[in-house]
Chains A and B, each alone.
Chain A
């Protein structure tokens, strides 16, 4: 057979493989109906150029975090506050510019991010949760294990704190990130809300951050920890934070 014919056959085989996979994936991508605000959100996503920096389903620009499951991680309130004023979050890190988005556009973007996180498409991706800041098994293991003989509940609390809270809260006195430093919180918590003990205050701060908003801060702490954390994780967090009294600050 002549070489040219073999080449054409091989090329067609390769293309057939591509087409078969594309068709299968397309069916998967079209399985979920797309609500109107999601399509509108996707249009905003395109015109604002979000994809030049961010990835969705792992494709796009690698300059900023993947946003496929961000709503699950942060909750809609946080994202709303973030998009209106991104500069206020994660200071001293890579910054997202501020876009002039209307309230409707922000809602549509949030509808889009809600859809990407719940659609059946790519339900198994990513294999491990992706964090924007802080967190990580590094913090969980090496730092957590650095205290020999520690109560395992405190170790757990430290790990959860590293993964879920450290991106916004420092435990160093006076270090203000997106949220206040939690140094001295064990004592402060007693007189925050009349009738609430320190532990109850901290628990309530985690589950219902809007009930009491610390002066000088916006109400942007995410509101979905009840979904993200088990009750034993929350107990461990409280035990961990209760170590930080005034003496520590």
Chain B
């Protein structure tokens, strides 16, 4: 198959993964409401493991598809036996991962649930994909994408190191989860966004990926602030938080940026502001383990998916639904997180009572996720590709 065809196939796989992710995210969220009838028979941890794996694989698939699009534009859409084999392997990996999820074979490490053996398969396939796309690294944006992907592979390897105790696990997470989402994925996704934007205006600037790379470092280590390391102090934390909107605005300036890119960058900036603010020791220690610290990862993750998607965006109607869903669910989760931090962490009201009190905000959050899931479903329908 040609690189262009392969990219299209991978984008199709990504949309399927996203639709499944939307359903799982919705299902998991409903469990936050009081009186969940399936609390014991289909417990939260199982749903959420499936949800996290689906999202992570959707990001990988989307970023690979975006990279192949860059390659086909840079070097012409040529046949590539190597990449065709990688695509077949990737399809098998997705099928095996779904099977592992259905058969409850996922691992019990939050956000690192993919079984180690499948991690290994993923690393091999991703490395082969990078070998098949070295040519893209001759272009400016292509090289940024390539480096981001290579870093993501390193982060997956870090996640395979077995920790002896939860303290070590928490530290490894700064690489395996933090650096992966906030640096590797964000850099690779922003490279795709810049490649799209550079078609709309004369100049290509790497300010955005460079800004995300430094600010992302602060975001990656911020969970360590809660354990006395990785603390940035007030000033550095504020500078880091300000860096996200700054570089996003710089990147969007001067081009009528497509909606998928604007939304994606907005979500990355929102997640980035939250996570770099958490590098301020007092803030990080207070918000660790609340809904806010979870929200960070999901804003960033979905933002990256939207950037990758921008290389081959679905129709505008789907965008409206996705945008409304993302904003409504994001704002509701943000408010719920802030209220949780205040009530549970500052007033020290019990966790369970706080969760009860948050039920109205959870309802709005769930409605937002339902709209998001509907938007993702709409985008997956055939004939929804714009242009």
Contact = CB atoms under 8 A, between A and B. Distances in A.
A18 B166 contact: no
Interface in A102-145: 112, 115-116, 119, 121-139
Given A56-B166, A56-B170, A131-B348, A122 B226 contact: yes
A14 interface: yes
A208 interface: no
A93 B36 CA distance: 10
A60 B229 CA distance: 18
B310 to A, nearest CB: 20
A113 to B, nearest CB: 10
A18 B109 contact: no
B110 A61 contact: yes
Interface in A1-50: 3-4, 6-8, 10-11, 13-15, 17-18, 21-22, 24-26, 28-30, 32, 34, 38-39, 42, 45-50
B294 A62 contact: yes
A63 B32 contact: yes
A156 to B, nearest CB: 16
Q: Is the interface on chain A under 10, 10 to 19, 20 to 34, or 35 or more residues?
A: 35 or more
B352 A65 contact: yes
A94 B39 contact: yes
A50 B174 CA distance: 20
Dominant SS among interface residues on chain B = helix
B246 interface: no
Contacts of B205: 3
A93 B48 CA distance: 20
Nearest to B137: A4
B40 interface: yes
Given A22-B171, A59-B110, A59-B223, A126 B285 contact: yes
Contacts of A119: 165, 167
Contact of B147 (A8, A97, A128, A133): A8
Interface in A49-76: 49-53, 55-66
A63 B51 CA distance: 14
B379 interface: no
